[in-house]
Each structure stands twice: as C-alpha cells, then as structure tokens.
C-alpha cells in the first residue's frame, strides 16, 4: 500500500482532476489518496471567517453560497446525471455545516471559528473526487479523516494524539484496505475529542499523508506537485536551478530549518522513523522521475542548496551596564524570544552584544523591542536578506553576494549564512 498526496493546484479545475486519472490507474492498488481543497478555496474560506468574525454574517453567508455554487458547477462538469445527484446530496451536508459554522463564528473564539469553516474545503473537494473515481470504475471509498485523526484543542495548529489516531486508522482505514479498497480522504484537518474540527497548521496535508503512511505501514508516500521534483533553490527567485535526484531526510530538514519552502520537518519525522521513502513527482508529467527522499542515498554529492529569506531585520542587543553576554543574559534573551514566539533565523553573540536575524513582522518586532529595551539597548538594521548555502563553494558564495553589503557572515564546514543588504 502507498499514499498519494494531491495539492490544490493539481485539482484546481475539473480538467486537472480528470487528468490525474492515469496516475491513479497506474498505481499499485490499493492506495490512500490525501487531497487538499480545490485551488484557492482555502483563501475564500478565510475571507468568510474574517467577515463572520467581524459580525457581517450576511456577507459571510453570501460568500459561502458563491463558493457552494463553484463546487456544484465543478462537480457537474465531471459527473454524469446519476452521480451528480448523489454528489449534490452529499455536498449539501457540508454546505449546511458551513452555514452553521458561520452563524456560530465570533471574534472572541477566532481560531476555533477558523477551523470549523476552513476545514470545509478539503471535505468538499474529496467528496467530489470520490464520486468521480467511482464513476470511472475505480474501487475507492471516501473517508472523513476527522473520524481518524484525533487532536488536542490547539485550533489552527492542533497536536495529534498519535496512539488514538493510529488505532482509529487501523480500524477504519485498515479494514477498507484489507478488503482491497482504495481510499480518498482529506489532508490538513482532524477533530478533537468533542468532535470539533481542527486544522493541523502549515503543510498539514503533507503531514496527514505521512501520518497515515506510518500508521498503516505504507511502502512509500508520493507528493504530486507542479514541478519536476525538489530543486536546489527556489526557481521563482533564481534562474537555472538544478533538480535533485535523491536527498536524505537530514538534508531536507536542514533546508526547511533555514527557511526553504520544501517539505516540513513534521512531515519528515514519521517517515524517517519508519524508513518510508518520500517521492516528489510532477502531476503534469507522470513520466518524469522526480526526487526521492530517504534515510540514505548512494551519492553524497549535492549541488549548492540555496535558501534566501527576504524581509529580514537584524537586531543588535547590547547590555546597558557593559556586563558580558554569558549564560545569565543569554538565558534571559532566549526566554524573551520564546515567550513572544519569535523564531530566530541566525544568532551571534560577542562580549557585550547579542545579534539576531528574524523575520520582519512589524507587530512582533514592536513587542520584542519593547520587551528587550527594559534591560538592553537595541539597534536595528531593516530591509536585509539572509542567504544560506549548504555545500557551498567559494565561487557560488562570491556570485550570490556580489554587489551586496555583508552585515554578518557565519561559516561551518558545510554551511555558510550571510546577512546582507
């Protein structure tokens, strides 16, 4: 058994969804398909949350009705008359749930309201996909992942109760698989013990795929994207990127840590723990080889792996009394960053100063500076970028920093980081 994950871009239109059929038909059955919301549905649902929590329920309901019609039109394009009638009836259950969630939404419980509304995207898309796959003669069952993935009540970034969820996965999904049936279900969402819907935070759909793979002993997970595979840099920022054929879990986690928009570490962990390879392949051309991520790779040679984080700010924190920045001061500084939930992208300390490069989010910066200035002097360099290169060479470092003013540079044997302006 293997797990396939399809994101919103792969099902953005009915034609895109239909084009996935050969990929699914050629898979060794049975499979579990974890699917995201259609196209930009999540953004539309977030707008509905915003309107509902601001008290404009009429506007929220109006936007919801438009979104409902989009899904009905999408289904009508794919399905014959008989299957559309079944799909419409099934979708109406979620349309009703969405309207109730809007009525219940309020600013005082924004995160809770967000999850009850935003989770509808995945439920709607997978319901349509399920009916389409059955119509095309494939032995698929639709499953509500909220009946499987149990979480705590940290809405918008819920923590999974692994033991309970694994038991449910084996009972509910494992039984279907043992009967030779494949499954289409949702990524990104789950439910609390009280059956409130939750979302799993950033890259939640990839995480769902990894979880189900680990819980049910999959032989592999494939994430289908609109690119050939993992690149050594963001192709939107850099020309002439290189596709990586194979890479270790460790390298991917390092890239994610430094800010690359690759596979989130929480997705890697259950796969690495269970030795399950992760494939990144292109749904636009299923014949392309893609990238494999696993514990070990035959070649230890990598091209330079480049991560550029823009919109950064470099803070220099200096003690007022010229006391050294040693264990006591460092402990205090770290506790301030931790309390305000601010991730430090690069740090360096000298005798009486501490330097931190962080994302420039103005509301967070103001709170941080206010807290730091109680005990320290704070200086700031704005509008800087943080360049990270793993497996760097002198030539690539020169090329990437040419014409830039370097504010700070750190090097290890494999990694160089440069704050530049």
Q: What is the pLDDT of residues 41-72, one digit of tens each?
A: 999 999 999 999 999 999 999 999 999 999 99
**Cα dist from 155 to 108, 114, 119, 127, 216, whole Å:** 13, 8, 11, 24, 26
Fold of 2-225: Carbamate kinase (3.40.1160)
Contact 202, 252 (CB under 8 A): no
Report the SS3 class of residue 189.
strand
Residue of higher predicted confidence among 300 and 164: 164
Any idea which of 255-264, 294-303, 394-403 has the lowest mean pLDDT?
294-303
Asked if the model's pLDDT at residue 103 lies above 80, the reply is yes
> For residue 300, what pLDDT is reported?
67
Contact 54, 107 (CB under 8 A): yes
Altogether, the residues listed in the chain come to a count of 421
Report the SS3 class of residue 219.
coil
Q: In which band, very low, low, confident or very high, does the pLDDT at 235 lie, cut at 50, 70 and 90? A: confident
Burial of 102 (0-12, 13-18, 19+ CB in 10 A): buried
**Cα dist from 128 to 14, 104, 282, whole Å:** 10, 26, 22
Tell whether the torsion through CA atoms of 73, 79, 80 and 86 is positive or negative: negative
Q: In which band, very low, low, confident or very high, does the pLDDT at 394 lie, cut at 50, 70 and 90? A: very high
Q: Give the β-pairing of 406-411 and 415-420.
A: antiparallel
pLDDT tens across 237-254, in order?
A: 998 899 999 999 999 999
Asked if the model's pLDDT at residue 362 lies above 90, the reply is no
Q: In which band, very low, low, confident or very high, does the pLDDT at 180 lie, cut at 50, 70 and 90? A: very high
**Cα dist from 333 to 153, 171, 325, 338, whole Å:** 30, 48, 9, 9
> For residue 385, what pLDDT is reported?
97
The full set of domain ranges for the chain reads: 2-225, 305-420
> For residue 363, what pLDDT is reported?
83
For residues 328-349, give the mean pLDDT.
92
Asked if the model's pLDDT at residue 299 lies above 70, the reply is no
Fold of 305-420: VC0802-like (3.30.2130)
For residues 373-385, give the mean pLDDT.
94
> For residue 203, what pLDDT is reported?
83
Kindly write down the DSSP assignment for every residue of 163-198, as one continuous string: HHHHHHIIIIIHHHHHTT-EEEEESSEEE-TT--EE
**Cα dist from 286 to 10, 37, 290, whole Å:** 12, 21, 9
For residues 106-131, give the mean pLDDT.
97
For residues 167-196, give the mean pLDDT.
97
Q: In which band, very low, low, confident or very high, does the pLDDT at 325 lie, cut at 50, 70 and 90? A: confident
Residue of higher predicted confidence among 323 and 270: 270
Which DSSP category does 109 fall into?
A: G
Residue-averaged pLDDT of the chain: 95
What distance in Å separates the CA atoms of residue 332 and residue 323, rounded to the nearest whole number? 13
For residues 141-161, give the mean pLDDT.
97
> For residue 328, what pLDDT is reported?
87
> For residue 197, what pLDDT is reported?
98
Report the SS3 class of residue 360.
coil
> For residue 128, what pLDDT is reported?
98
> For residue 183, what pLDDT is reported?
98
> For residue 326, what pLDDT is reported?
85
**Of 204, 211, 223, 215, which Cα lies nearest the Cα of 115?**
204
pTM, two decimals, is 0.89
């Amino acid at each position: 058994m293997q797990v396939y994950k399809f994101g919103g871009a792969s099902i953005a239109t009915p034609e895109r969804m239909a084009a996935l059929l050969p990929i699914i038909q050629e898979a060794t059955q049975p499979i579990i398909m974890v699917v995201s919301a259609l196209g930009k549905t999540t953004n539309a649902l977030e707008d509905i949350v915003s309107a509902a929590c601001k008290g404009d329920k009429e506007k929220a309901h109006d936007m919801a009705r438009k979104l409902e019609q989009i899904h009905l039109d999408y289904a009508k394009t794919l399905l014959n008359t008989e299957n559309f009638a079944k799909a419409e009836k099934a979708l109406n259950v979620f349309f009703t749930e969405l309207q109730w969630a809007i009525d219940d939404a309020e600013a005082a419980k924004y995160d809770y309201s967000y999850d009850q509304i935003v989770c509808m995207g995945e439920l709607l898309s997978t319901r349509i996909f399920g009916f389409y796959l059955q119509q095309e003669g494939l032995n698929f069952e639709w499953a509500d992942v909220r009946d499987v993935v149990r979480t705590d009540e940290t809405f918008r970034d819920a923590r999974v109760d692994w033991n309970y969820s694994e038991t449910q996965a084996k009972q509910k999904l494992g039984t279907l698989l043992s009967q030779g049936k494949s499954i289409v279900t949702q990524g990104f969402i789950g439910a609390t013990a009280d059956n409130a819907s939750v979302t799993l935070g950033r890259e939640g759909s990839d995480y769902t795929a990894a979880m189900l793979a680990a819980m049910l002993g999959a032989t592999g997970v494939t994430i289908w994207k609109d690119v050939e595979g993992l690149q050594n840099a963001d192709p939107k920022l850099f020309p002439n990127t290189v596709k990586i054929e194979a890479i270790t879990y460790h390298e991917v986690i390092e890239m994610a840590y430094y800010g690359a928009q690759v596979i989130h570490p929480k997705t890697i962990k259950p796969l690495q723990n269970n030795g399950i390879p992760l494939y990144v392949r292109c749904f636009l051309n299923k014949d392309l080889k893609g990238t494999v991520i696993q514990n070990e790779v035959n070649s230890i040679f990598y091209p330079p792996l480049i991560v550029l984080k823009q919109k950064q700010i470099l803070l220099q924190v200096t003690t007022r009394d010229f006391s050294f920045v040693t264990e006591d001061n460092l402990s205090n500084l770290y506790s301030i960053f931790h309390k305000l939930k601010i991730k430090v992208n690069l740090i360096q300390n000298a005798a009486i100063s501490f330097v931190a490069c962080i994302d420039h989010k103005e509301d967070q910066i103001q709170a941080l500076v206010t807290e730091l200035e109680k005990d320290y002097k704070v200086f700031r360099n704005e509008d800087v970028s943080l360049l990270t290169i793993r497996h760097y060479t002198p030539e690539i470092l020169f090329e990437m920093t040419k014409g830039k003013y370097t504010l700070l540079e750190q090097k290890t044997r494999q990694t160089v980081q440069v704050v530049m302006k």
